[in-house]
Homo-oligomer: A and B are copies of this chain.
Amino acid sequence: MYYLGIDLGGTNIAVGIVDEKGKILNTKSVPTKAQREDKEIIKDMADTCLSLLKEENLSLDDVEAVGVGSPGSIDSKNGVVVYANNLNMEKSKVGPMLSELLGGKKVYLDNDANVAAYGEYYINGDNSESFVFITLGTGVGGGVIINGNIYRGFNGAGGELGHIIINMDGEQCTCGNKGCWEAYASVTALVAQTKRAMENNPDSMMIKFAEEKGVVNGRTAFECAKKGDKAAEEVVKAYQNYIAAGLINILNIFQPQKILVGGGISKEGEYLLGPVRDIVYKGDYNKYMQKAVIETATLFNDAGIIGAAMLAKENL
Contact = CB atoms under 8 A, between A and B. Distances in A.
Interface of A: 73, 82-83, 128-130, 144, 146, 151-161, 163-170, 175-177, 179, 241-242, 245, 248-249, 252-257, 283, 285-292
Contact of A176 (B128, B283, B291): B283
A237 to B, nearest CB: 14
A170 B166 CA distance: 10
Given A151-B146, A152-B255, A288-B83, A248 B165 contact: yes
Total copies of the chain: 2
B283 A164 contact: no
Contact of A164 (B159, B160, B163, B253): B253
Given A154-B128, A177-B248, A163 B285 contact: yes
A183 to B, nearest CB: 12
A181 to B, nearest CB: 10
Given A73-B288, A289-B73, A154 B255 contact: yes
Contacts of A163: 252, 285
Nearest to A284: B157
Interface of A is mostly: loop
B255 A157 contact: yes
A253 B132 CA distance: 12
A82 B283 CA distance: 20
Nearest to A153: B255
B249 A164 contact: yes
A177 B151 CA distance: 28
Contact of A290 (B129, B155, B241, B256): B155
Given A154-B292, A167-B167, A177-B285, 15 more contacts: A128-B154, A129-B154, A153-B254, A154-B255, A154-B257, A155-B255, A157-B255, A157-B285, A157-B286, A160-B252, A161-B252, A164-B252, A165-B248, A166-B166, A249-B249
A82 B289 contact: yes
Contacts of A283: 165, 176-177
Given A73-B286, A292-B154, A168 B245 contact: yes
Q: Which 5 A-B pairs have the closest CB atoms?
A: A153-B255, A158-B255, A155-B289, A157-B286, A154-B257
Nearest to A167: B168
Contacts of A287: 73, 83
Given A164-B249, A166-B168, A249-B249, A290 B154 contact: yes
